[in-house]
A and B are shown apart, each in its own frame.
Chain A
Amino acid sequence: MYQALLTRRYLTSKVMPLLASLAVVLCTAMVLITWSVMGGFLKNLTEAGRSLIGDVRISWPNIGFAHYDDLIARLEADPLVAAAAPLIETFGMLTLPDNKTVGVLIRGVEGDSFSEVTNYADALWWKPLDKPLPKDKTRADPRLSDSLGPRLQQIFEDGLALAEPDPQTGQLEPAMVLGMEVGAWNYRAEWGGYLPWKHAVPQADGDVVTLDTFVPRDASLALRVVPLDSQGRPMEVVTRVLPVANEFESGLYDIDRQTVLVNLDALQRMLRMQAAKRLAEPTSSDPGEFFDEERPEPELVEEPARVTSVLVRQADPNAPARILQERCREIYAEFAATHPGEVPGAYAVNIETWEDANRMMIEAVKKETGLVLVIFTFISFTAVFLVFAIFWAMISEKTKDIGVLRALGASRLGVAWVWLRYGLAIGVVGATFGGLLAWGIVTNINEIHEGIAATGRWLGETLTDGPWNWYIWDPRVYVFKEIPHQIEPWKAAFVLVGGLVSCVLGALVPASRAARMHPVKALRFE
């Protein structure tokens, strides 16, 4: 009882414990804010990484595998699977409107099935918008334009179908969709959206031609790929000019910078992976078995279309992808047994989750998050030493009080508990207010960020010639349009308990010193 009374009185009548509480407030808030922002960053990044590959990918690179329709049908019959889609992945060259040629990762997809398995529709950039992006205060985003609305809607639908009508015939022609950063034609504004550049291209005769680089409007670009034969040997380069139907933003710069989505049928034809009748050469283990006059005519065989991957989306978006991965293995084993010799064996094919596919990126961000947290936790550990130093000083100051308590019959444990309880009280106050401060900052972090940037602009314009850029989290640098943040209850609880434990740890040694004080020496202390 007396411990509660003394804790209350010491806490409200001294400045030093309030300073210790303030230190705990700041340390707790700092760790929680860092963890929330980095956690949000990691979450956004992983979601972005998941957005265009589904939950599980079954792949046999380069030459691909046949009968994928059968595999997709088997997969979609399973209750764990929501949808499956075919995909071809290869590398190629893309010639841009300014005649630069860049290396790209080409993904051949069917618009409909790809949308069912991934967030493709959300990733398509050019589409009509009802409301501006959070930071687009001046409504500078061209997608908000009412006059462009019908055209943008058409561009969006073309992008979804990966096809657009031929201007002459009106027939749908296969098209491609570029990552937003592939041509570096789109200028990323400070509010997080894109504005098309107008490129000034110097000509050989000294003239300068201005190119309108809003590519989905009328650009057609040349795509070059190298098909492989059934043995994986490269064949002649195939070039095809395809119109650009739209552009996409996945949220991952690397993907947006180097990925081109192409109509699956078109890419299959370019890579010689479409269904076709082919001449099959007779084979024999004995090279002298056939003489020219005896050599049989090559047989015309039906060869089914091939893809390099099948993407699978699980029915329960919150279920661990590992469960679906295991199920896909079983389904693929049945599929391989049905088509012996025509598709890769169950143990050869690569079946990976979206986490496996993005492991390098996710692990890197996890490591960064961990590293930042460790650094901040170490910094926060100063609170332990602060509490320790303050308590040590207070116990020296209160030595006589300790002697009096012992003279009145307080036990050693009782005296120790006065100080441990006091540390706990400082921890409770510090962690509670630290948690509230962190919650207030994290939930309003974008507004605070905007306020800081606005202050920088105003100060710059007032004191110097131009605005100062005080954007810490510049959307032009980071792919996300807003500062990501996510307070998870368990993380908050962990940090708050950590703050509490830190205070008790800091109080532990001083409390033990107080408990071990000799009552007579304490009473005689000057």
Chain B
Amino acid sequence: MTTLTAATPATRPAGAGPIVRVRDLHKTYRLGRVDVPVLHGVNLDLAPGEWVAILGASGSGKSTLLHLIGGLDRSDKPRNGRPRARIEFEGRDVASYSARELDRYRTGSVGFVFQFYHLLPELSVLDNVLLGPMIRHGRFGYLARRAGLRARARDLLGAFGLADRLRHRPAELSGGERQRVAIARALMNDPALLLADEPTGNLDRKTGGRILDVLAAVRAERGQTMLMVTHDPEIAARADRVVHLVDGRVVEQPPTAPPPGE
């Protein structure tokens, strides 16, 4: 793997406090007439440049937590005397963002990597990666920076070993290649926070391992804070810190394995 070309310093300056601070986060989904609580007062801090893995079983609320931090969803409103949930990014509550600010937050400060890549099938690899800058800068802003952005996208894809795949459609790529394109797309706007939702969940162990290598390289060279969701303890072990999410709550210690025969 070649060295990544970073638009920002390799290590981000560590602030006095956490880059992300989550307090009393509750989230309930409504299924028909039934309320299904998913998160029960989650508290979590992410230090700048830290790689944190959220480990939990299926349905424990991992992806929901990721979506809430990424500004894709809103937490529950305070009720029954519960304190108001707070998701602070660089000291400011994401819940206080206007719709426009939230869009800017998603396009400039956060990068998403999904389990199923979510590449747009009609676009080429290069266009998929350039989608973020197009959204971020608007028509005229993008056209003014077009040459630079295309060069950066090529460099990024080249660093991920996809230099000869720029004109290919996602359908013409392997799973690992698709996920690398998705990571390049997430990095194009150089976000401070990378949110990866089971990034290896759809790949075989070997390919998944390579993807984790890519993510590790990204974090090492670009200093991005990374929050990764997984249900695989082995994958979680690659992170700086592992947070266990059990039934919508963060627990300090991993749940003990049930006694044999139980």
Contact = CB atoms under 8 A, between A and B. Distances in A.
A binds B: yes
A171 B195 CA distance: 111
B221 interface: no
Contacts of B100: 411
A1 interface: yes
B118 A403 contact: yes
B120 A407 contact: no
B72 A405 contact: no
Contacts of A404: 118-120
Q: How large is the interface on A (under 10, 10 to 19, 20 to 34, 35 or more residues)?
A: 20 to 34
A114 to B, nearest CB: 67
A409 B138 contact: no
A519 interface: yes
Nearest to A522: B72
B87 interface: no
A410 B122 contact: no
Contacts of A406: 72, 106
Given A404-B119, A407-B112, 9 more contacts: A2-B135, A4-B139, A6-B120, A9-B123, A409-B105, A409-B107, A409-B108, A411-B99, A523-B118
A518 B67 CA distance: 12
A13 B122 contact: yes
A459 interface: no
Contacts of B103: 409-411
A504 to B, nearest CB: 20
Given A5-B127, A5-B134, A406-B72, A412 B99 contact: yes
Interface string B128-164: 0001101111110011000000000000000000000
A403 B136 CA distance: 16
Interface in A182-203: none
22 contacts: A1-B134, A1-B139, A1-B143, A4-B139, A5-B127, A5-B134, A10-B122, A400-B118, A404-B120, A405-B135, A406-B106, A407-B70, A407-B106, A407-B112, A408-B106, A408-B131, A408-B135, A409-B105, A411-B103, A519-B72, A519-B73, A520-B73
Contacts of B132: 408-409
B55 to A, nearest CB: 21
A401 interface: yes
A40 interface: no
B51 interface: no
B123 A5 contact: yes
B110 to A, nearest CB: 8
Contacts of B135: 2, 405, 408-410, 414
Interface in A1-52: 1-2, 4-6, 9-10, 13
B104 interface: yes
Q: Report which residue of A4, A10, A401, A409 has the largest number of chain B beta carbons within 10 angstroms of its beta carbon.
A: A409
Contacts of B120: 6, 401, 404
Nearest to B114: A523
Given A409-B106, A520-B67, A9 B72 contact: no
Contacts of B123: 5-6, 9
Contacts of B118: 400, 403-404, 407, 523
Interface string A386-424: 000000000000001101111111111010000000000
A348 to B, nearest CB: 71
Interface in B48-102: 67, 70, 72-73, 99-100
| Interface SS majority for chain A | helix
A411 B138 CA distance: 11
A6 B136 contact: no
B191 to A, nearest CB: 10
Contact of A2 (B67, B112, B134): B134
Nearest to B136: A409
Contacts of A518: 73
B108 A1 contact: no
Nearest to A8: B122
Closest 9 A/B residue pairs (Cβ): A409-B107, A9-B122, A409-B106, A2-B134, A1-B134, A1-B139, A519-B72, A1-B142, A404-B118
B107 A520 contact: no
A288 B131 CA distance: 111
Contacts of B104: 409
Q: Report which residue of A4, A5, A9, A404 has the largest number of chain B beta carbons within 10 angstroms of its beta carbon.
A: A404
A363 B142 CA distance: 57
A523 B70 CA distance: 13
Contacts of B142: 1
A520 B134 contact: no
A523 B114 CA distance: 9
A414 B112 CA distance: 19
B190 to A, nearest CB: 13
A223 B190 CA distance: 101
A125 B83 CA distance: 99
Nearest to B104: A409
A407 B106 CA distance: 6
A520 B134 CA distance: 22
Nearest to B138: A1
Nearest to B127: A5
A416 to B, nearest CB: 13
Nearest to B70: A407
Contacts of A400: 118
A4 B99 CA distance: 23
A422 B50 CA distance: 42
Interface string B111-126: 0101000111011000
B223 to A, nearest CB: 22
